[in-house]
Chains A and B, each alone.
Chain A
Amino acid sequence: MIDKRVRDLAAAVAGIKDGATVLCGGFGAVGEPIALTEALLPLGVKNLVIVANNAGTGEIGIARLIKEGRVRKVICSYPRTTDPREFEAAYKAGKIELELVPQGTLSERLRAAGAGIGGFYTPTGAGTNLAEGKETREFDGKPYVLEKPIRGDVALIRALKADRWGNLVYRKSARNFNPVMAMAAALTVVEVSEIVELGALDPEAIVTPGIFVDRVVVVR
């Protein structure tokens, strides 16, 4: 029997190692898997590379990992979101590395990893600082920048409901980066509000099919 349900947060994050590249869903704190992210603290892991749209809000989730000195580098599009105090403090102190990626390029680099694509050319960023050191090539007279995939060792995902196969549905704009990150990591761990019986999720409405998911934990 396929059963991706795990009993608690410790089981959900077991095996994640120092130096791991961790994809964190969410747009600001909306759709951010805060409980899973904070479960990395008692696990003791450090030197993490966090991939997310933002670099933590207030003192929760990613911000808490940064505050506790667990994060070596952040790959994101916009670190200065609502209340970015922990990232800013670490950045100003030179304690954290930042790789800035345009938001759509970040999403597409994650998709490329999930889709088995070795790289892609995008018009975004052509002729700007963020294209420096990257190949730029013209197609039909328009410049495009070569971008590489971002693959996670682990993806931490927040969804609304799951079943034991790991099929997922989301809620409103809390979907955001979660589905694309779920596809892009070696280990995908999901926190949900509720686990329902197999067959209870409308197959027409499942956003992330269970093939992309390894572990599901209920966080209320």
Chain B
Amino acid sequence: MSENAPKPLSRRQMAWRAAQDIPEGAYVNLGIGLPTLCGDYIPKDREIVFHSENGILGMGPAPAKGQEDPDLINAGKQLVTLLPGGSYFHHNDAFLMIRGGHIDLALMGALEVAANGDLANWITNDPHAPPGVGGAMDLAAGAKEVRILLEHTTKDGAPRIKQTCSYPLTAKECVKRIYTNLALIDVTRDGLVVREMVEGLDLAGLQEVTEPKLTLADDWKKLTAPTV
């Protein structure tokens, strides 16, 4: 690899970058997997309330050893904690919060995102695996804002930001911002706008691994993250 080769972010760095944009006071749902890591990188001066669809507001990090409670889990069924001010409620209220537009931000993973903000993140076309949707469709349709974290390409190098999604949709036109290991891209009425790119990459290079046409924001920046 030459010195000028692009330096993609690690998965934890992607989570760090997305976490920096979560505003003070926001009620936020973190999806299973990569988005869950964002909880580790919230700036210390911000108070953010995490929502879990199994009935928790004010969810805290994983418990210290010896403090585990088997009745306190997150949507990914990992053990968590409750912060002071947190509350428990039943599933219907948890999803009322989602569907009723009370959740400010949902950060989710994805298989694919389309140019118009269509999201595919619940099912591949594998006929052998039973499908599962969980709360993905409710979050995509109901949260005030949906932002996505995904690796820019598949393992084979194929774009995952597509003209139209090839996998079945989770919701139409719901994604507003995409964090990848290469760039930060906003979905706008005028198409996909690149706000940040990693060192060593130019728009042409990014366009090669992205299906829809990209435009570079006038005030674009380098996409950087500390070693985390």
Task: Check if B60 is an interface residue, CB within 8 A of chain A.
Answer: no
A-B contact count (CB 8 A): 135
| Neighbouring B residues of A175 by C-beta, 8 Å | 55, 88-90
| Neighbouring A residues of B137 by C-beta, 8 Å | 102, 104-105, 124-125, 128, 130
Interface residues on A, range: 35 or more
Given contacts A124-B142, A172-B71, contact A130 B88 (CB under 8 A): no
> Which of the residues B92, B136, B138 comes within 8 Å of A179, measured between beta carbons?
B92
The answer for the CA separation of A30 and B135 in the assembled complex, in Å, is 17
How far does the Cβ of A116 sit from chain B's closest Cβ, in whole Å?
15
A30, B170: Cβ atoms under 8 Å?
A: no
| Neighbouring B residues of A179 by C-beta, 8 Å | 90-92
Interface residues as binary, B88-100 with A (CB distance below 8 Å gives 1, 0 otherwise): 1111101100110
| Neighbouring A residues of B52 by C-beta, 8 Å | 173
Which residue from chain A places its CB closest to the CB of B129 in the assembled complex? A80
Given contacts A104-B99, A127-B171, A130-B133, contact A173 B72 (CB under 8 A): yes
Task: Check if B161 is an interface residue, CB within 8 A of chain A.
Answer: no
| Neighbouring A residues of B91 by C-beta, 8 Å | 27, 53, 103, 107, 176-177, 179-180
A105, B92: Cβ atoms under 8 Å?
A: no
> Which of the residues B88, B130, B136 comes within 8 Å of A91, measured between beta carbons?
B130
The answer for the CA separation of A110 and B142 in the assembled complex, in Å, is 19
Which residue from chain B places its CB closest to the CB of A128 in the assembled complex? B169
| Neighbouring A residues of B172 by C-beta, 8 Å | 126-127
Interface residues on B, range: 35 or more
Which B149-202 residues have C-beta < 8 A from chain A? 168-172
Task: Check if A79 is an interface residue, CB within 8 A of chain B.
Answer: yes
How far does the Cβ of A154 sit from chain B's closest Cβ, in whole Å?
19
A30, B138: Cβ atoms under 8 Å?
A: no
Task: Check if B70 is an interface residue, CB within 8 A of chain A.
Answer: yes
| Neighbouring B residues of A91 by C-beta, 8 Å | 130
Interface residues as binary, A63-85 with B (CB distance below 8 Å gives 1, 0 otherwise): 00000000000000111111010
Task: Check if A167 is an interface residue, CB within 8 A of chain B.
Answer: no
Given contacts A102-B133, A108-B95, contact A81 B77 (CB under 8 A): yes
Instruction: Give the 5 A-B CB pairs with smallest separation, nearest first.
Output: A104-B95, A104-B138, A78-B132, A103-B135, A102-B137
Q: Which residues of A contact B (CB under 8 A)?
A: 27-28, 30-31, 53, 77-82, 84, 87-88, 91-92, 98, 100-105, 107-108, 110-111, 122-130, 170-180, 207
Sampled A-B contacts (30; CB under 8 Å):
A27-B54, A27-B77, A30-B71, A77-B133, A78-B134, A79-B131, A80-B129, A80-B130, A82-B77, A92-B128, A98-B130, A100-B131, A102-B136, A102-B138, A103-B135, A104-B137, A105-B137, A107-B94, A108-B99, A122-B141, A123-B99, A123-B142, A127-B172, A129-B169, A171-B71, A172-B72, A172-B82, A173-B72, A175-B55, A176-B55
